Amino acid sequence: MAVDSRTSQVRVARRTQQFAAEVALITTAIVLYFVVRGLIHTRIDAAFRNAEYVVELERLGGFFVEPELQAAVAGHGWLVDAVSYFYIYGHWPVVLATLLWLLIRHRDAYRTVRNAILISGAIGLVIFAVFPVAPPRFLPLYGFVDTVTEQTSAYRVLQPPAFVNQYAAVPSLHFGWNLLMGIAIATLAGHWAMRLFGWLMPLAMLASIVLTANHYLLDGLAGGVIALLGLLIACRRTKGFLSTTEGRKSAPSDS
């Protein structure tokens, strides 16, 4: 009996250490991501030239519709409020909560998603360095409005220039990482409502980054592709996601 008790205590201690180590790893990675991104030398002139290039590229592709989309929702105050607040509160709280859930309930999937974040983040930092891009909110001549700052200045204050490169619009990992969380939730959640949330949440974030003038549509596409590339590489290095059936069997209390 005493041996079983000591074995159980050792297991709990080991799991606690593993949990603390994983939390420390992902927290350190996120902090380093912002520090490195903020320390990258920002070439403002190049960032605005590249922004014009993105606009021209979208025009050639026939999908430079962001100003029209913003104008369409401008008359609906509740919708403007919704996308602005979802942009603010629908990213890090969702990302961190999902990672915590995966760490506790789905260790294999957690490792895969964690690695996908690290890989896509590294790719993003390289692009930020070689291809700085001013976000739409810095181009009011096109009719863009920074709805997030109009709602509250707190979000910008919480991301000071020392830690955030304001000219790193491409790619949008704001969307890309939400996409990774959505895939994990839609694949592994036990309740249909949570799986539906997993499908719809990334789409809501894509709408938010565009309708708040923080990113172009092309940014979202690039962020999604890079996040999926990170996921593909991560799946090759780990067991990947559990199957949907296995995930639901292992999470009966998700309902």
Amino acid at 135: P
The predicted-structure confidence for 134-162, as pLDDT tens digits, reads as follows: 999 999 999 998 888 766 554 554 455 55
175 with 47: CB under 8 angstroms?
A: no
Give the integer Cα–Cα distance in Å for 227 and 230.
5
Residue at 88: amino acid letter: I
pLDDT, tens only, 48-106 = 999 999 999 999 999 999 999 999 998 888 898 899 889 888 998 999 999 999 999 99
- Give strand pairing partners of 133: 168
| 226 confidence band (pLDDT: 50, 70, 90) | very high
- Helix/strand/coil percent split, the chain, to 5: 75, 0, 20
Segment 223-242 shows an average pLDDT of: 86
| Residue among 244, 116, 119 at smallest CA distance from 185 | 244
